[in-house]
Amino acid sequence: MAAPPLLTLQGVGLTFGGTPLLESADLSVAPGERVCLVGRNGSGKSTLLKIAAGLVEPDRGVRFVQPGATIRYLAQEPDMAGHETVLSYVEAGLGPADDAYRARLLVESLGLSGEERPGDLSGGEARRAALARTLAPEPDIVLLDEPTNHLDLPTIEWLEQELKASRSALVLISHDRRFLSNLSRSTTWLDRGRTRRVERGFAEFEAWRDQVYAEEEAERHKLDRKILAEEHWVRYGVTARRKRNVRRMEALQDLRSQRRTARRATGTLAAQASEAEASGTLVMEAKGVSFAYEERPIVEGFSTRIHRGDRVGIVGPNGAGKTTLIKLLTGETAPQEGSVRLGTGLETVALDQHRDSLDPDATLAEALTGGRGDTVMIGGQPKHVVGYLKDFLFSPEQVRTPLRVLSGGERARVMLARALAKPSNLLVLDEPTNDLDLETLDVLEEMLADYAGTILLISHDRDFLDRIATSVIVPEGKGRWLEYAGGYTDMLAQRGADLAREAPAPAAAPARAAKPAAEKAAPAADGRRRLNFNQQHALKTLPGRIETLARQIAAIQEKLADPALFSRDPATFAKFSDGLAAKAAELEAAETEWLELEILREEIG
Check whether 39 is labelled as a binding-site residue: yes
Report the alpha-carbon distance of residue 394 to residue 388 in Å, rounded.
9
Check whether 45 is labelled as a binding-site residue: yes
Check whether 318 is labelled as a binding-site residue: yes
Check whether 538 is labelled as a binding-site residue: no
Report the alpha-carbon distance of residue 172 to residue 313 in Å, rounded.
27
Check whether 41 is labelled as a binding-site residue: yes
Question: Residue 342's CB: how many other CB atoms inside 10 A?
Answer: 18
Helix (H) or strand (E) holding 307: strand 296-307
Cα→Cα distances 473→202, 302, 304, 453, 563, Å: 29, 10, 10, 19, 16
**Do residues 277 and 434 make contact, with C-beta atoms less than 8 angstroms apart?**
no
Check whether 343 is labelled as a binding-site residue: no
- Of the CA atoms within 13 Å of residue 35, those in its CB half-sphere come to 27
**Do residues 288 and 299 make contact, with C-beta atoms less than 8 angstroms apart?**
no
Amino acid at 68: G
Check whether 583 is labelled as a binding-site residue: no
Specify the length of the chain in residues.
605
Question: Residue 407's CB: how many other CB atoms inside 10 A?
Answer: 17
Check whether 222 is labelled as a binding-site residue: no
Check whether 532 is labelled as a binding-site residue: no
Check whether 322 is labelled as a binding-site residue: yes
Check whether 370 is labelled as a binding-site residue: no
Check whether 44 is labelled as a binding-site residue: yes
Task: Output b/e per residue, 361-388; b: 16+ Cβ within 10 A.
Answer: ebbbbbbbbeeeeebbebeeeeeebbeb
Report the alpha-carbon distance of residue 177 to residue 156 in Å, rounded.
12
Pairing of strands 311-314, 454-458: parallel
Backbone angles phi, psi at 184, to 5 degrees: -85, 150
C-alpha closest to that of 383 among 374, 394, 392: 374
Report the alpha-carbon distance of residue 489 to residue 498 in Å, rounded.
10
C-alpha closest to that of 195 among 17, 72, 55, 13: 13
Check whether 43 is labelled as a binding-site residue: yes
Report the alpha-carbon distance of residue 480 to residue 290 in Å, rounded.
9
Q: Which runs of consecutive H residues, i.e. helices, occur in 31-188?
A: 45-53, 86-91, 100-109, 123-135, 153-165, 177-183
Give the gyration radius of the chain's Cα atoms.
28
Check whether 319 is labelled as a binding-site residue: yes
Check whether 418 is labelled as a binding-site residue: no
**Do residues 169 and 141 make contact, with C-beta atoms less than 8 angstroms apart?**
yes
Q: Which residues pair with 71 in a beta bridge?
A: 141
Question: Residue 389's CB: how many other CB atoms inside 10 A?
Answer: 22
Report the alpha-carbon distance of residue 71 to residue 64 in Å, rounded.
12
Annotated binding-site ranges: 39-46, 316-323
Binding site, annotated residues for ATP: 39-46, 316-323
